[in-house]
Amino acid sequence: MKTSRYARAFQAALIGIAVAGPVTIARADIKDYKFELVDQTVQAGPDKVITVRLMNTRTGKPVPDAIIVATRLDMAPEGMQEMATRIAPVPGGEAGTYRFKATFGMAGRWQLSLGAKVQGETGTVENKLVITAQK
């Protein structure tokens, strides 16, 4: 009799687990990340440094150790997508910030396109930011 009582209790526990379903851990979605410009303007000319911050919009905290997989800097906001310039990563900076060096050949609005992989997340964070080069 005792064995059947334990067996029924065990079956009831299994049914309860099956009905409750698997436990999922709340994770961020790749859409919960975005890049922000630290400075909206730069001086036109060679070797200017652009600093961006990758933020988790749910927590409001910067995201360190992301892997930048795509960069492009062009004058798309001025209707000149073909006017692109080289952009190179610059080491250093505080956690969650990413720095790049580029030549701004002329004054105007430039579009910085970035793609990054965030550790522990699937997908790619992609943003297009507009920075103004001044004379």
pLDDT tens-digit series, residues 85-117: 999 999 988 999 999 999 999 999 999 999 999
**pLDDT value of position 23:** 41
Is 43 within 8 Å of 133 (Cβ atoms)? yes
- How does pLDDT run across 26-45, given as a tens digit for each residue? 456 899 999 999 999 999 99
Domain ranges of the chain: 30-134
Amino acid identity for residue 60 in this structure = G
Which is nearest to 51 in space by CA: 63, 66, 64, 40?
40
CATH 2.60.40.10, domain 30-134, yes or no: yes
pLDDT at 18 over 60: no
Mean pLDDT lowest for which of 8-12, 47-51, 61-65, 80-84? 8-12
